[in-house]
Amino acid sequence: MKIPGRARAATLADRLVWQCASLLLHHPDQQRLNTAAALLDHVEGLAAKHLSRTVVALRSLDPMRAAQEYVATFDLRRRCTMYLTYWTAGDTRNRGAAMLAFANTYRAAGAPTPRDEAPDYLPVVLEFAATVDADAGRGLLNGHRVAVDLLHQALYQTGSIYAPTVEAVLATLPARTGLGISRAQRLAQEGPPGETVGLQPFTLTVPPRRI
């Protein structure tokens, strides 16, 4: 079955947003920033404005300050974690199974064996969606929409330069349902589930294929 031209255009537009966002949400370096800025020439509408805000903000910082900002945002604040299964599974046995579902999705799409990062890490998921399988990647993002919403909320509340980038990602996903909104509100108030007894470290990682 042929994909209608409008649907193909929408998918391509979303892939550009996802790839640019992936680059911006990785630990900052000049090459990634330059590539993201180049991709912005092909992104349109509000997504371009959101992503460009992060690009401009990062370019205004020297490399040391950018690295410090990144660590302070994502490594020192649990509420800003980019590990999507953390919010829904927390530190429980269920988290291993949740991450395995990501890894299995990558393998089914022919992605390489995991190596350097956890499979539920948002920049990894975004790059997979952008460069490997848009439909499967969109499914992972939408299936963990609550986690992405909570991340955006936390970044926005702290005035982070990364909040607009996550907002651009959210704009590529279907509108939230009433159930999703309620779940996000509950998790924001109560936090993720907790369980530490009997846990073993889960180290499976899946890097997406790069373009």
User: Per residue in 46-68, pLDDT tens?
Assistant: 999 999 999 999 999 999 999 99
Q: Per-residue confidence at 6, pLDDT binned at 50, 70, 90?
A: very low
10 Å CB burial of residue 118 (0-12, 13-18, 19+) is buried
204 token code pair: 């499976």
Q: Per-residue confidence at 204, pLDDT binned at 50, 70, 90?
A: very low
- Bigger pLDDT: 191 or 123? 123
Q: Please list the alpha-helical segments (H only) found in 60-93.
A: 63-70, 85-89
> Do residues 124 and 206 make contact, with C-beta atoms less than 8 angstroms apart?
yes
Residue 194 in this model has a pLDDT that exceeds 80: no
Q: CA–CA separation, 183 vs 126, rounded Å?
A: 23
- Bigger pLDDT: 209 or 77? 77
**How far is CA 157 from each of CA 61, 79, 151, 160, rounded to the nearest angstrom?**
21, 11, 10, 8
User: Per residue in 13-48, pLDDT tens?
Assistant: 999 999 999 999 999 999 999 999 999 999 999 999
38 token code pair: 């180049």
31 token code pair: 């090459």
pLDDT value for 97:
84
The pLDDT of 115-121, averaged and rounded, is 90
pLDDT value for 93:
64
- Bigger pLDDT: 164 or 7? 164
User: Per residue in 83-93, pLDDT tens?
Assistant: 999 877 766 56
pLDDT value for 185:
52
Indicate whether this model's pTM tops 0.85.
Answer: no
Q: CA–CA separation, 73 vs 33, rounded Å?
A: 18
User: Per residue in 146-158, pLDDT tens?
Assistant: 999 999 999 999 9
Three-state DSSP state, 188:
helix
The structural domains of the chain, ordered by start, are: 4-188 (1.10.3480)
Q: Which residues is 91 bridged to in the sheet?
A: 194
